[in-house]
Structure 1
Amino acid sequence: MARSYAVTFTFVSSRVLNLWPRYWSHLGDTLSAVGVIAFTLVSLLVVDIGLNWRELTTRRA
């Protein structure tokens, strides 16, 4: 469920950023698409780190 929220956040935030064309108009279509893909991957990575934080930070003997 958290990953679904992360992907939804990507779509919502990209729509909000489209309201300010000065940030996106100079990039072109290719770089805008790469930016959305990178934002999606980063949001999924943050969610996965958050979900697995305890396993990542505990020591194993």
Structure 2
Amino acid sequence: MSAPNPQIVADAVAKVIATTPGSRPFRAVVDKIGMGEPIEAYNQQLAALTKDIYQTFGTAEMLELKVQ
């Protein structure tokens, strides 16, 4: 197996930066070894759990980015 190409990460960061503020993902999966799909599913479950916890404590608005 060869070393990962750091350009993949740089491209992912550039894509997030180019995305409109307020619609940027909280997490981005950068994968070229075949783990992207399970990690994406994990991130979706974690996001739902985090949202539920914040809603339970009445602080869900803290998860929303205020765009000016």
TM-score range, shorter chain: 0.3 to 0.5
TM-score (norm 2): 0.40
Higher-helix-fraction structure: 1
